[in-house]
């Protein structure tokens, strides 16, 4: 028996089907079957983990991609129209920014255009209104000036809130000035100067007795101040146009909450 067992073992070792280099795909060796199944499980688990890590990495990369790098296969008509108008607005604003810097075509006139924009700042108008209010001795004058002061303060708060919500930057990288920071006019949409001059022009036309030439000059001044902000590169064309609209709406709001003469006298006495 021992000799026959030894011969059978020798035959098994010499059998080519039992050699590792000639393993059958359908009938693997028992000794290697467990090791291969274990390696397959490990490789399968590693492959699944790698696939999960790869998919998670792809999702993170797709989330980090900016919107302009993502292609929308079926854009809506509204999206196409909005993007087209936005592109036209940016192109026009850059072309009209002739005083954006010293190297621009009208770079030498930048100081004069900036000086024109100062006439639409909120701080000079608030300071001038307070001085006129102190020197005013008539009830009608004090009433108009108090409501004008209210309109200027509302304009600063409303425009600052809208700009914080929109956070739109101008067509050029122009640093806001000191007066812009004081009035919180640091973003582009809507244009604070445009809303302020539109509100002031409408307010003065309604509550001051002016001759026709002065009324025309007042309207021209408002238009020039608004579009001077496009020329120096601080705002887009749509920012200025929307600023004019918001300025008119602010005027209508002040007309609705108009303070009477008694209320103005009470506030002046408290002050």
Q: How far apart are CA 225 and CA 198, in angstroms?
A: 10
State both tokens at 17. Answer: 């089907």
3-state helix, strand, coil in the chain (%, to 5): 75, 0, 25
Catalytic positions are 193, 235
Residues in Cβ contact with 70 at an 8 Å cutoff, skipping those fewer than 6 apart: 62
Q: How far apart are CA 150 and CA 162, in angstroms?
A: 18
Residues in Cβ contact with 233 at an 8 Å cutoff, skipping those fewer than 6 apart: 97, 99, 100, 101, 170, 171, 172, 174
Helices (H) and strands (E) in the chain, counts: 11, 0
């Amino acid at each position: 028996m021992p000799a026959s067992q030894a011969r059978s073992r020798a035959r098994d070792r010499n059998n080519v089907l039992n050699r590792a280099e000639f393993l059958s795909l359908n009938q693997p060796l028992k000794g290697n079957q467990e090791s291969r199944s274990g390696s397959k499980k490990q490789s399968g688990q590693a492959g699944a983990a790698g696939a999960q890590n790869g998919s998670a990495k792809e999702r993170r990369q797709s989330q980090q991609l900016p919107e302009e790098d993502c292609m929308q296969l079926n854009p809506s008509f509204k999206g196409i129209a909005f993007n087209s108008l936005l592109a036209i607005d940016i192109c026009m604003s850059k072309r009209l920014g002739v005083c954006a810097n010293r190297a621009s075509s009208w770079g030498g006139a930048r100081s004069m255009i900036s000086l024109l924009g100062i006439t639409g700042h909120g701080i000079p108008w608030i300071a001038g209104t307070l001085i006129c209010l102190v020197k005013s001795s008539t009830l009608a004058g004090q009433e108009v000036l108090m409501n004008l002061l209210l309109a200027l303060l509302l304009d600063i708060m409303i425009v600052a809130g809208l700009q914080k919500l929109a956070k739109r930057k101008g067509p050029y990288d122009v640093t806001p000035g000191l007066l812009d920071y004081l009035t919180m006019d640091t973003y582009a949409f809507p244009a604070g100067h445009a809303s302020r001059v539109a509100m002031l022009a409408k307010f003065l036309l309604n509550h001051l007795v002016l001759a026709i030439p002065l009324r025309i000059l007042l309207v021209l001044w408002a238009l020039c101040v608004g579009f001077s902000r496009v020329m120096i590169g601080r705002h887009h064309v749509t920012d200025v146009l929307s600023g004019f609209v918001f300025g008119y709406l602010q005027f209508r709001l002040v007309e609705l909450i108009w303070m009477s003469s008694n209320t103005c006298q009470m506030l002046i006495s408290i002050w």
